[in-house]
Amino acid sequence: MDIRRLPAGQGLVWFRQAIDLGAKNPRAVFGAGMLLVSSLYMAVSAMALVLSLLIGDERADGQLPDMKLLMLVALALALLIMFLVPILLGGLMHVVRAVEAGHPVRARDLFAPLCSQSGQGLAWLGLVQVVLAVVGGGLVVALAGVGYWQDYLKAVEVVMRGGTPEMQGPAHPGLLFVVQMVFNYFSYALLLYSIPLMLFSGCRLLPALGLALRAAVCNAAANLLAATLFVGALVIGALVAALVSALLAVLGGAIHPVLGNLLAALVMLGFACAALVLVSGAAFLAWRDTFGEGGSPVPNSPPHQIEA
C-alpha cells in the first residue's frame, strides 16, 4: 500500500475539516460520540465500584488495603477497558466515514465493528497499547531512576491513608520530557492510523502497525502540526468547559444542588464528546489522505469554510 507524502500544511487542512465533521449528520456523529463517552464512563464506573468494594472489605476488617491485590484487579480491569477503546474509536470512525460518504447511518452504528471480524480484531490494538505502556514505563524508570518510582508508590500509600505525600523530582527531567514526547507521538500515531487501516483497508495487525509507523515518519510534519493544533484547541476548550461548568453548577445549585451537578456534568460530557469526535475524525481524514481513499488531497485548496 502506497503512502502519500503530504506537506506540513496538510495538518491545518485536517484541523479545519475536522471542525466541520458532523455538519451533514450531527445527530449521528455526536450521538455516537455521546454513546462512546457513556460506554467508557460505565466501564470506568464498574472498575471503580469493584475497587471500592475491595477497599471497603479490607477496611471493615480494620486492615489497610492489600496494595498488590488492588493493583492486580485494577490492571485486569484496565486491560479490559484498553481492549474496548480501539473498537469504540473504530466505531466512531465508521460513523464519520459513512456520514462523509453520504450514507445513511445512526448513532448506534458506533457498535457496528463489534459485529465484524475486522472490527473485533481492533481489540488486539489494546494489547499493543499494553506493550507500549510497559516499554514507556521502562524508559521512564531508566531515565527517572528506580528511586523515583519507589517514592511514587510510597506516596500512593500515604494518600490512601489520608496523608500528604512528599516526593522528589525525577533524574534527567529535560531528557525525560523529550523522550516521553517522542514516544507518545509514535504511540498515538500507531493507534490512530492502525484503526482505520484494519477496519477499512482490511490490513491485519502487523502490516497495519508497519504502515502506521511509516506514515508517522513520512508525514511527521503534518501529523505534528495537526497534533499541536488539536492539543491547543482541547486545552482552550477544556478551560472554557470548566468555567461554564462551574458557572452552571453555581447557578443550578442555587435552585437545587442536584440540578447544579447535573448541568455541570452535561457540559463536561459535551466537551468530552466533541473532543473524541475531533480526534477520531482527524485520524480518519489523515488515513484517507495518507493512504489515498477518496481521491487526492488538495492541500493548496481555498480555506475550508467552517460551519456551525
In 3D space, the residue among 279, 190, 266 whose CA is nearest the CA of residue 233 turns out to be 279
Distance from C-alpha of 163 to C-alpha of 145, rounded to nearest angstrom: 24
Contact 21, 286 (CB under 8 A): no
- Our count of domains for the chain comes to 1
Range of 214's domain? Answer: 10-291
Residue 300 within any structural domain of the chain: no
Neighbours of 75 (CB within 10 A): 10
Q: What is the pLDDT of residue 146?
A: 65
- What pLDDT digit, counting tens, does each position of 117-151 carry? 888 889 999 889 889 988 888 887 787 776 666 66
Q: Is the pLDDT of residue 306 over 70?
A: no
Residue 26 within any structural domain of the chain: yes
Q: Look up the pTM and report it.
A: 0.81
- Which residues, 6+ apart, have CB-to-CB distance to 144 below 8 Å? 170, 171, 172, 176
More confident position, 158 or 97: 97
Residue 245 within any structural domain of the chain: yes
Residue 301 within any structural domain of the chain: no
pLDDT band at residue 102 using 50, 70 and 90 as cut-offs: confident
Residue 4 within any structural domain of the chain: no
Residue 22 within any structural domain of the chain: yes
Distance from C-alpha of 50 to C-alpha of 74, rounded to nearest angstrom: 9
Residue 182 within any structural domain of the chain: yes
Residue 117 within any structural domain of the chain: yes
- What pLDDT digit, counting tens, does each position of 40-57 carry? 888 888 877 877 776 665
